[in-house]
Structure 1
């Protein structure tokens, strides 16, 4: 991709059949894609980093499409999403924040009419750092059954001068979700919250 130096990607898909109770009629599928890229701002302070978000947009779209394919190819099966970034030690937390717009934009574009804010997390860390990427329902952040997280990480990434950017998608609520709150079938769909 123009303007980006990609070193590697890691795709992870898991199926959850039960969490100690009866097997689900349809297993929950969760997928994460981590892309390790060179951090163009590593080792120095750059006051104007915002233009790099445009450079990241094609990567976000490519990653979002790949996640949908990993979950069967139909965007309609995706009910949850989240994003995150791990910045290598020569970078700063704000470099991870550059992923907010391209990651969220990409999933909304690929999934269609998703209304909820895409939850996010970021941190600075060395190779092997793990990140718990938060997940919420794509149309209403208050749908408690879809509050989740998926742990990601790559043993040799990020190097000090790299960033690992992450997208996560899921196909449904936590298996055996039963703590109440707004149900997915009661979403009003007006504000991305309820």
Structure 2
């Protein structure tokens, strides 16, 4: 198992009080945790990169725990999640894909019984690049009220030889959601979709 070298962590939390309407009974909190890690494959092509997924697992768990704590340390209030990665310019998009497994499973483990697939995005870019992390309900991907995104970035990352890995969580639906569709109260919990 290779050492994952982390240069820095960044944690952000938004508290949404209203969106052009009356304040909701409960504000929505949206948070993300980002870790800037050294890309062990930067500047060269490596055929077998999958072992790095196992190396990233402990980091995924640490990040999920950090984010849960930043959002109040109460698993029962987390309703949405997502993940993403930004690969520095000496890397390739596939290096960011290595975050799918350790990032997603870390949040599912920390949250307990989350059933929905964790939505994801990735891109290649330089320092200061922004990325929208998609969010869906933790137990049913078709719950339209929880389709959301949180935009994140770091002014000095990723450097060419780095990857920024990201986890995001929310405490509820979009404020004033009224686009219809499956409601959270109607989730059957059978397949992670409905």
Same fold (TM over 0.5): yes
Equivalent residues of 2:2, 2:52 under 8 A apart: no
Moved over 4 A (4+): none
User: Normalising to structure 1: TM-score of the pair?
Assistant: 0.99
Equivalent residues of 2:83, 2:104 under 8 A apart: yes
Q: Report the Cα offset of residue 106 of structure 1.
A: 0.1
Q: Which runs of 5+ in 2 are unaligned?
A: none
Q: Which runs of 5+ in 1 are unaligned?
A: none
Equivalent positions of 1:164-183 (< 5 A) are 164-183=164-183
Q: SS in structure 1 opposite 2:53?
A: helix
1:152 counterpart residue number? 152
Once the two structures are superposed, residues 60-112 of structure 1 have per-residue CA deviations (whole angstroms, 9 ceiling, x without a partner) of: 00000111111111111100000000000000000000000000010000000
Give me the whole-angstrom Cα distance separating, in 2, the residues matched to 1:99 and 1:157: 17
Q: Report the Cα offset of residue 23 of structure 1.
A: 0.2
Matched, 1:119 2:119: yes
Q: Report the Cα offset of residue 2 of structure 1.
A: 6.3
Q: SS in structure 1 opposite 2:114?
A: coil
2:50 counterpart residue number? 50
2:86 counterpart residue number? 86
Give me the whole-angstrom Cα distance separating, in 1, the residues matched to 2:153 and 2:70: 18
Equivalent residues of 2:128, 2:155 under 8 A apart: yes
Matched, 1:41 2:41: yes
Matched, 1:3 2:9: no
Give me the whole-angstrom Cα distance separating, in 2, the residues matched to 1:53 and 1:38: 14
Give me the whole-angstrom Cα distance separating, in 1, the residues matched to 2:52 and 2:34: 18
Q: Report the Cα offset of residue 138 of structure 1.
A: 0.1
How large is the RMSD of aligned CA atoms in angstroms?
A: 0.9
Give me the whole-angstrom Cα distance separating, in 2, the residues matched to 1:75 and 1:36: 25
Give me the whole-angstrom Cα distance separating, in 1, the residues matched to 2:61 and 2:24: 31
User: Normalising to structure 2: TM-score of the pair?
Assistant: 0.99
2:187 counterpart residue number? 187
